[in-house]
Structure 1
Amino acid sequence: MFLIQEKNEDGCISYIKKYVGLKKENNYDIEIKFSSVTMSENGVDNILLYDLDMNVIRPAYEYLNVKCGNMSINTRYKVTSALRILYSFLKIFNVKLEDIKKDDFSKLKDFLYGDGKKGERFEFEFMTVRSSDTINQYFSVYRNYLNFLGIDNKILNAKAVAQVIKDSDGLLGHTREKATERYIISEKSMQNKLTVPMYIRPNEYLRIISVIQKEYSLREEILVMLMYENGVRLGEGLGLTLEDIEDSKIIIRNRVSDKFDQHAKTCMRPESYLKYKSEAYKKWKVGYQIVKPTYDVLDKIEQYIDIIHGRMGKTNRLNYINFAIADRISDGGTLEGENFYLFLNKNGKPLHAGGWNKVLRVIFTKAGLTIDKDVKKHNLSHRLRHGFAMKRIKEGATQLQLVDDLRHSGPSSVMKYFRATEEDCYNANTLGAKKMITDNPKLEI
């Protein structure tokens, strides 16, 4: 079995080909990296594509700088990216450019889609995911490139009639017909048909984390990790305080000092400070809920507290004292002094939903995820929580387990999370999905 992993360093994609056999001593891995550079001379930009031995690929050089020389530099960069991926694929699968066959194109499509496809001998583990329209654009590049090289690939160039329409030109136009053709290898276009997914998939989550680690802070990383890995609601996250972070768990609860967007949905809301002493407020699943994140998340939280709260207590002390203090519930514990809301904005005030949504929207866009462009119908934070729910379903969680995982009030309330995509319907052979469907014939799919 070969595992093909994508590696992205500063926007330059390479691939790791790993052989995983029964005997560990036979295992090996190699890195496959086709790099490119742009050289400018006398106002002319030339793009050089290198092979694994750092030799210029001459056919690609002539195509990029002669055949495509009149194109804008950005368009040529896109063509270069497509060719770099093509040569990577050829090397990984030991295929010659002039000998690409039908089965090879099928593998190439899976390779380009990059969506965790798994075959008998190969498994892909990619972060980059491409749409059908992007795949068609890449195949157009490959078609033109092979034609430039004098290679007539029958599979790549084969066409079929897409539709027949009436010819409206002239007096007798209605008596004539026009046939429009399409390349058989092309994927079905999704232009003007994009729908916003209801939940974040694992590969999309990795892309989000990658963007955050490169361009954002611990605050964004922690909140996203809590939502996707523990199903934390946005209000539950924004309402967290220093007092709620313990050695191995996080306590979710409401306080009198909470604002409207800091509420924990399924926890008791105290009307006065006296309620903090009541039996109901101290009761698990009534007054509070428990989340157990990984130690990695807890460690990141400790780092965030040390860095950000230490800084805000000095540089934005007035806002920090006047706005970020939260009610302290217990007299004991390890917390010394005042209690503060955990997540802060750049001014030392508590982070609120409006500011977070703006940040998350940019992160989703940078990660290449589909979002509402006009009317914002899909809550981006909830797509992370929904992704956690779908992940648990596919892992085999029962309906009752999902109630506990999501901190819901009852079994019927978790059914809305099973909003399967077309891909889920085809892949519904996982134990969890099949059991949910079998146990609930009216389940919405």
Structure 2
Amino acid sequence: MQPIGGAVRPDGKIAYRAQLLYFTASPEQIADGDATVYLPDGLLVVHDGHVAQIGDYQALAASLGADTSVVDWRGKLIMPGFIDTHLHYPQTDIIASPAEGLLPWLETYTFPEESRFQNSGHAARTAQFFLDELLRCGTTTALVYCTVHPESAEAFFEESHARQLRMVAGKVMMDRNCPDYLQDTAESGARDSEALIQRWHGKGRQMYALTPRFAPTSTPEQLGLCGELAQRYQDVFIQSHLAENTAEMEWVKQLFPDHRSYLDIYDHFGLLRRRAAYGHCIWLDETDRHRMAETGTLAVHCPTSNLFLGSGLFDFAAANAAGVPVGLGTDVGGGTSFSMLQTMAAAHNVARMSGHHLSAHTLFYLATEGAAQGLDLGGQIGTLAPGAEADFIVLDPQATPLLARRTARADSLEEMLFALLTLGDDRAVAATYAAGRLRHERSPSV
């Protein structure tokens, strides 16, 4: 059995021994035990970047060939890599910037920072750091906003492709109500987006998302052309912002007086469907939620951002009652952490404020299998089931003295998972694998 270490390279078949966990359904809809596959001493067999087998160690070990290395992660928990369904890589350097709210924050920090991404070198350096940070926090797939500049998307995809990561990203489309230096036009935004789709969507593990920033910064002409691209390219993703705060809601009413709601604007232009993901979704009504459920459109809850900017509290109970698919997003840089563990902890607290309880099982599901299903990528990512892409992480319940002390007293899997999300951060991620290759390993001294 091989020791833990970065020297092991999965060029052939490699097995990993640890506690294993993944989800097959929502724990809120099915009892935790029936929604969960948990193996206290399991073996995960990876071949050619995919999961080949998974099972109990004692049952599978004897069937391994002599040429199969076994990496020993006993004492740790292996689970699918996290899926972050909403964040902005060009905002990496303005995380933790003070402002009175969303719109002042955009004007003071976001727009000036995004102007730098016309420079390909700056974009490439930021993309490198950004992806390093995601992997350090255990995130193996993300829905990423670039800037209005095609160069920013090119730089991001180049770096992600070199690392063989499963990423979804897009050039922002924005032709009004923003600084002149960040404006495209309806025609140039559509033309640049289509060129990026043809170059990057489906290249290796890269996937493209049509990305109108939000309705106030796109003219009806731009949203119409975006809808035409969505119709032409049925398997691309769509991402934007929706109903984040009350000042934004009033602005939208002034700009689009003939529409029933903010959501109705996107619906009118054909931008609600499977593979469409909208960040925030706080100020929705029952009709909006039922329409999202009907179209399979993903609502992305961004709790650290919503708390930081004072935007409001996402209503989990109402979303669940309507059957809306829900994902979690860090929303860096409005969000305050790249860590999905910290984001899960914040989501738990936001739900408690409205009297709704989210179990640790549910939160880990939302960050893995739930997100994959909501993005129409079920069976491909977010799971350890055979045939899935081998994107997985190794969590360390003893990563910090406090975490070790608390998990030593855990009487159930739920207690251990709850301690990990409540007390954990990037230090709890011992290793991150993408397409079966080790992409991050935490130094024991860090």
What's the TM-score once normalised by structure 2's chain length? 0.24
Greater relative contact order structure (CA < 8 Å, 6+ sep): 2
Q: 1 or 2, which has the higher strand percentage?
A: 2
- Please say which structure displays the higher CA radius of gyration: 1
